[in-house]
Chains A and B, each alone.
Chain A
Amino acid sequence: VLLNFVPLSQTSMATFLGPNAVPNGIQRLPIHSSEPHAMSVPVNPSPGADSIDHGVTEAPYERRFSPYDFNGGTTLAIAGKDFAVVAGDTRMSTGYEILSRKVSKLHPLTDHCVLASAGCKTDVDQLRSVLDIKSEVYRHNHQKDMKVTSVAQMLGNTLYMRRFFPYYAFNVLAGVDAEGKGAVYSYDAIGSFERTPFSASGSGQSFVIPLLDNVITHKNRNDPKREMGAEEIVEIVKDVFVTAGERDIYTGDSVDIMVITKDGIQKQSFGLKAD
């Protein structure tokens, strides 16, 4: 959510003071939504924002209901030659509080496709329900599961359908495509998507993405790049979450890791610090 800051010279004061009057020589930002150029800041800050504005005395604003909450957490997925690894931590928070240490961010949509979502949990749950229903309808109509490439497109379209009241879900889709290769897709909240070698989203993405840039896609390295198998990638994922959990307050408790191959999905769990 972007705030449109209006230069002080353009704010208008209470009408009884006249158009150019400035009370006590101090210009005042509008407070109530009825005043021109008033900006309403939602009570819950947007995802990733770490400012909890206590400066009400400096710039008072009307507080109003926000349909979103940020429930925290980090997800990532890495595509391998014939597998994909997808992982997400299990902490659900609100504000500075932990609601639950055991909530999964991973949701299998088919036997070869897993959706990992961070952001606003209620929107994530709704998105999962909608996608489950669409997948079920597809299965009834076509007598088979959707391919990962199709699920990817469906998710993009579903998100865009809510372009003007978005699902606050930051998604990562992982699976094995029809040719047997690992597939990972990254999304933004309104459905822009792209197939990528790896993807990470959520509160800890800034800690995770640079690390994976170096280790997975071999950026800024001169040693020869080598192929890594599923077990090695899983060990890297565990280290990555330990790193993210160290600095990101919303990441921790435990990590669910799923390895997707043409034979199906294998799940494992790995403990993180609970602080």
Chain B
Amino acid sequence: MKKKKAPRRIRTVGDNCLIGASGEYSDFQSVMDTLEGMVQDDVNYDDGEKSDAKSIHSYLRAVMYQRRSKMNPLWNDIIIAGKDFLGYVDKIGTTYEDSFIATGFGSYLAIPILRSKWRPDLTEGEARALLEDCLRVLFYRDCRALNRIQIAKVQGDDDAVVSDPYELETNWSGFEATKGDMDGDGGW
């Protein structure tokens, strides 16, 4: 049963880094508290330096690894994005960087689409359309997904922004043909 109308799964860290997590929402909130504290420490230090996505990724990996080593993990799969950086951390501290990353059902349904359609010279519009296509497929095929989505973008050193949630358009006509004999549920 859906619990929240619009859970904030993607958030900004400072103004130059985006972080999105799947898994245990309360653990994500705890992670965000820690990272927001870190950003505030940067501000208080007032030395002109601020944490970038790569250093946040590295720090978060250390946190996740330490928690798993105490057999009390933060149960999340996390994606961190910033200028020229896209990385992944999971609950035991496995990390990797790539041009596109997905967690949860996305790794099964979206990654094959991205592997086939991603190009290094995608424009922003094409990239957004590609993401929407992936999220649409996820809505069609993951029974726990919604068509209410958010897309976030970061390009420079201070312009990380998360969009408001909006609804994707879906077309269920293709599924009519797969009605099957029992109850028209699309199964066959």
Which A residues are closer than 8 A to B by beta carbons? 65, 67-69, 71, 92, 94, 97, 99-100, 102-103, 120-122, 125-126, 165
B28 contacts the other chain (Cβ, under 8 Å)? no
A28 to B27, alpha carbons, bound, how many Å? Answer: 37
A65, A69, A103, A122 pick with most chain B CB within 10 angstroms: A122
B26 within 8 Å of A by Cβ? no
**Nearest neighbor of B98 in chain A, beta-carbon distance:** A100
The verdict on A97 contacting B71 (CB below 8 Å), with A71-B94, A122-B65, A126-B65 known, is no
- B118 in the interface (beta carbon within 8 A): no
B contact face: mostly helix, strand, loop, or mixed:
mixed
Residues of B within 8 A of A71 (CB): 94
What is the bound-complex CA distance between A99 and B65, given in angstroms? 18
CB-CB under 8 A from B107, the residues of chain A are: 97, 99
* A100 touching B68, Cβ below 8 Å: no
Contact partner, B95, options A67, A102, A125, Cβ 8 Å: A125
Interface CB pairs A-B, < 8 A, 12: A67-B68, A67-B73, A97-B108, A99-B88, A102-B98, A120-B92, A121-B94, A122-B94, A122-B95, A125-B93, A125-B95, A126-B93
B96 contacts A92, CB within 8 Å?
Answer: yes
Q: Which residue of B lies closest to A65 (CB)?
A: B73
**Is the CB–CB distance between A122 and B92 below 8 Å?**
yes
B35 to chain A, nearest CB (A): 20
Tell me if A67 and B92 are in contact (CB < 8 A).
yes
User: Cβ of A100 and Cβ of B93 under 8 Å apart?
Assistant: no
Cα distance, A100 to B94, chains bound together (Å): 11
- B residues engaging A (CB < 8 A)? 61, 65, 68-69, 71, 73, 88, 92-96, 98, 107-108
Chain A residues near B93 (CB-CB < 8 A): 122, 125-126
Given contacts A97-B107, A126-B65, A165-B69, contact A69 B92 (CB under 8 A): yes
A67 to B108, CA, bound (A): 23
Q: How far is the CA of A69 from the CA of B64 in the complex (A)?
A: 14
Q: How far is the CA of A94 from the CA of B71 in the complex (A)?
A: 20
**Contact check: which of B71, B94, B95 meets A65 at CB < 8 Å?**
B71
A67, B71: Cβ atoms under 8 Å? yes
Residue of A nearest to B68 (CB): A67
A231 to B65, CA, bound (A): 40
Residue numbers in A under 8 Å from B73 (CB-CB) = 65, 67
- Contact check, B94 vs A69: say whether CB atoms are below 8 A apart: yes
Known contacts A65-B73, A67-B68, A67-B71; A99 and B96 CB within 8 A of each other: yes
A121 / chain B contacts, CB cutoff of 8 Å: 94-96
* CB of B61, distance to nearest CB on chain A (Å): 8
Q: How far is the CA of A69 from the CA of B96 in the complex (A)?
A: 14
Contacts of A69 in B (CB 8 A): 92, 94
Q: In the complex, A253→B68 CA distance in Å?
A: 29
CA distance A71 to B69 in the complex (A): 18
Nearest CB on A from B120, distance (A) = 14
Residues from chain A with Cβ under 8 Å of B92 in the complex: 67-69, 120, 122
The smallest C-beta distance from A221 to any residue of chain B, in angstroms, reads 41
CB proximity of B112 to chain A, nearest CB, Å: 10
User: Most A CB atoms within 10 A — which of B61, B73, B92?
Assistant: B92
Q: Are A100 and B65 in contact (CB under 8 A)?
A: no
B138 to chain A, nearest CB (A): 16
Which chain B residues border A94 with CB–CB below 8 Å? 94
Neighbouring B residues of A126 by C-beta, 8 Å: 65, 93
**What's the nearest-Cβ distance from chain A to residue B79, in Å?**
12
Tell me the minimal C-beta distance from A195 to chain B in angstroms. Answer: 31
Question: CB-CB < 8 A to A103: which residues of B?
Answer: 96
